Chains A and B, each alone.
Chain A
Amino acid sequence: MGSWLDETLTWGNTLIFALWGIILLVLVLGFVTYAIYFERKVIGWMQLRIGPNRVGPLGLLQTVADITKLLIKEDTIPRKADRVLFILAPALAYVPAFGVLAVIPYTNELYFADINVGLLYYVALSGITTIAIVLGGWASNNKYALLGGMRSAAQMISYEVPLVISVVGVIMVSGTMNLRSIGEQQGDWFWQWNFLPQIIGFVVFIIAAVSELNRTPFDLPEAESELVAGYHVEYSGFRFAFFMLTEYVYVYAIAALTTVLFLGGWHAPLAFLDFVPGIIWFLLKFAFIVFFLFWLRATMPRIRIDQLMGMGWKVLLPLAILNVFITAVYLELFIKG
């Protein structure tokens, strides 16, 4: 991508950018399809079950079948629902989820947009999804959906604060919000990656990220046992699929972001292993985080809502701010001057 970025903008170049965008879109959709398959398979193995194994060899086409089913399923909109907002909500949830992928670098050469406010762009755009969820809950005109939507909004805004503050430490160490240079600045040994120097920030980031993704143990917005399904009770067919798609695109985005910010991006964990191409290291770390999220889902019970809100504001937020000041004092004493 680097060479095209320096050229003057022409229609041809715009077309090339659009093609790269479409390639990424297809890859992300493929990722989502197989992430769902592996999630079911992995959780199945962890619970001593087999998991999907009927559709296609080893059940590999299970998700494809599910998506096709959703696509040809009748789409009902309740009479009482606010039609315009009801239709708008799933699309509004999905747009920022794909939009944030523009700033994520994969290696030093393979990246899309290389903007200096990359991290800020990510944080700002991902916040929009919260609006879509409240909108979906409100427009359904359903009590469960409204409660689910409000809970979800409360949870997402509560955890967004520690999430965005926990990365401030990384920005201070790197002196930039450009994701590519944050990735590049981390060294070739694993102790030079940000996760060890920024261990408090890293832990806060992971917990807050899992919560932002609405995944177990923080999947209260969709607590089946108490809220039926949360904000998307009334959604059926492909509109429902877009809410699910959004969730898994965010899994992709958060896994990639964690890799770049804290796990050294495309760097090898040990300097003598750097003959392996960077993209392989990136994908390994990325896959590990995705697996970690599935693993968490198979292991943890759901947290209670009062504990959830309490933890966000009383534990994670003070810790995240503490991390900022520890980093500031460290830089003041040992790096500056």
Chain B
Amino acid sequence: MEKYINNYVIVTIFILLGILLPVVALTVGRLLRPNKPTEEKKTTYESGNEPVGDGQIRFNVRYYLFALMFVIFDIETVFLYPWAVAYKQLGLFILVEMAIFVGLLLIGLIYAWKKKVLKWNSI
């Protein structure tokens, strides 16, 4: 039990240190760096031209499809990990079970493939 708590204390310390470094570095940096903002400096960079319009434009819907595929397959891995840990202790049944599950997802992948979701044709 002690070991369990201690391990997670270390994890917390690492995450806190991870937060602390940017905070400290940027605060120290604020004391060291000059700050002379002008209007020109604050314009959006567009290769030297006057920026046209807004930067937060609509982007291609394809990114959304990739995000959907990612969610589906990441869920798969959530199921695969505990299955893989316990695999040696479980019977043949569990292999068939996972084959059916992954098989269904692979049909989904083939469907997306045929629908040309994976084809990249513009930016």
Q: Interface of A with B (CB < 8 Å)?
A: 4-9, 13-14, 17-18, 20-22, 25, 71-81, 90-91, 94-99, 101-103, 112-115, 119-121, 123, 138, 140-147, 150, 153-154, 157-158, 160-161, 164-165, 168-169, 171-172, 175-177, 228, 233-234, 237-239, 242, 305-306, 309-310, 313-314, 317-318, 321, 324-325, 328-329, 331-332, 335-336
| Chain B residues close to A by CB (< 8 Å) | 2-3, 5-11, 13-15, 17-19, 21-23, 25-26, 28-30, 32-37, 39, 41-47, 51, 54-57, 59-60, 62-63, 66-67, 69-70, 73-74, 76-77, 80-81, 84-89, 92, 95, 98-99, 102, 106, 109, 112-113, 118-121, 123
Is A153 a contact of B63 with CB atoms below 8 Å? yes
| Smallest beta-carbon distance A144→chain B, Å | 7
Are A141 and B36 CB-contacts (below 8 A) given A6-B3, A98-B14? no
B14, A101: Cβ atoms under 8 Å?
Answer: yes
CB distance from B72 to the nearest CB of A (A): 9
Q: Are A310 and B120 in contact (CB under 8 A)?
A: yes
- The answer to whether B6 and A13 have CB atoms under 8 Å apart is yes
B120 adjacent to A309 (CB under 8 Å): yes
Task: Give A178 Cβ to nearest chain B Cβ, in Å.
Answer: 10
Nearest opposing residue in chain A for B52, CB measure: A143
Contact of B3 among A5, A71, A98, A119 (CB under 8 A): A5
Q: Is the interface of B mostly helix, strand, loop or mixed?
A: helix
Q: Is the CB of A143 within 8 A of B46?
A: yes
For the complex, give the distance between the alpha carbons of A324 and B73 in Å.
Answer: 14
Q: In the bound complex, do residue A21 and residue B74 qualify as a contact, i.e. CB atoms below 8 Å apart?
A: no
Q: Please tell me if the beta carbons of A328 and B87 are within 8 angstroms of each other in the complex.
A: yes
Give complex CA distance A309, B62 in Å: 11
Known: A142-B51, A175-B88, A237-B29. 18 other contacts (CB 8 A): A5-B2, A7-B2, A14-B9, A17-B10, A25-B17, A72-B33, A74-B36, A78-B43, A94-B22, A99-B11, A115-B7, A146-B55, A154-B67, A157-B67, A168-B77, A171-B81, A234-B45, A318-B109
With known contacts A78-B44, A177-B81, A112–B120 Cβ distance under 8 A: no
| Given A5-B6, A157-B66, A171-B85, also A238-B34 (CB < 8 A) | no
Provide the bound-state CA to CA distance between A168 and B86, in Å.
12
Task: Identify which of A20, A75, A103, A306 contacts B33 (C-beta below 8 A).
Answer: A75
Cβ-defined contact, A317 with B42, below 8 A: no
A146 B23 Cβ-Cβ under 8 A: no
